[in-house]
Structure 1
Amino acid sequence: MLDACAELLDEIGYEALSTTRIAERAGVAIGSVYQFFPDKKAIAQALTRRNVELFAARVGARFMSEELGGWWDAVDAIIDEYVEMHRTVPGFRSLHFADVLDLHLLDTVADNNTVIAGRLRAMLLAEYGLADSAELDLGLSVIAEAGDAVLKLAFRHDPAGSPAVVEEAKKLVRGYLSSLLTTAARRA
């Protein structure tokens, strides 16, 4: 059902999506859809959660399999994975972690980008031993918001994502994070 939802999102968009269309595409009775999901929003939420988990797993796998020189390479890997998933994973580009549907889709308290920033923070702390601090949390929240906005811009007029805009997103995130880490190091 989630795969059917993803395909339909890419083909017809969220507004035209319906539980009936999802059931038809999945080859299941409408009752089967309602057994697991009360409405199309719940299906979109489940798809978004799956996409976030896939994103985190793919980034984690890159961290494990690639020789990353430092956090700046990790930033590039994270952005590259987002761009690759945007291009290749059905439903990913339509939902952008579903911020247009519900800012609290992934968590009832934290907005979606805060949840994403927290996941990335955990990966960066585990892999690169960055010092945990309130400044790091705030900085990663700013980075998630700014990076998300610039990456959306990259895909707004170019379905493959403008390479020049993607590169600017990397520069923005690396520059801000570098400044944040430099300030934190001076305070320590």
Structure 2
Amino acid sequence: MKIRSSPFPFRAAWLPKPPASGAYRHWLVDNGSLTQRLRKHCAAFSVERVRQRWARPLPDEAMLLRMRPHERALLREVSLCCDGVQVVFAHSVLPRNSLRGAWHNLGRLGAKPLGAALFAHPEVVRTPLAFRKILPRHALYARAVEHLTERPACLWARRSVFMLHNAPILVTEVFLPGVLE
């Protein structure tokens, strides 16, 4: 997989480096496959599909993917678990046009990890990671902590766009406190 500077605009709220991210930093900045890293981190790795539906992405996601304002995309949300503990909430935006072409099989992944498909294809290009502290007022916060018994004051997230033959998809990974255990 190649990493190339982004032709897509990043909003100011998403930063090129994760400032003051503490113990999460080494998880955030790793450019490799998060799925592969989590598999090495725990005895039993699993993916639990939380929801998958056609809907409008968040405004900054639509802008990043150069989608029209009312255009819908396939939104896929999963929990990545290590030894039965949720460690990452993953939110992916797959525009309809991207699913018609290069990424046509991604809409049928079910509980399979998206990362395995992304990192297996040699022609996939990834934009640099962008980082953000997710506070309770952010739309992704409530969905990320939905199944946690204790809700942290904030969460750290990273995102990047994956391209295959000019077909973009956006992957956002929100790191939950369980990843530090």
Higher helix proportion, which one? 1
Largest Rg, 1 or 2: 1
Q: Given the two structures, how large is their TM-score scaled by the length of structure 2?
A: 0.24
Relative contact order (C-alpha < 8 Å, sep 6+): which is higher?
Answer: 2
TM-score, structure 1 as length reference: 0.24
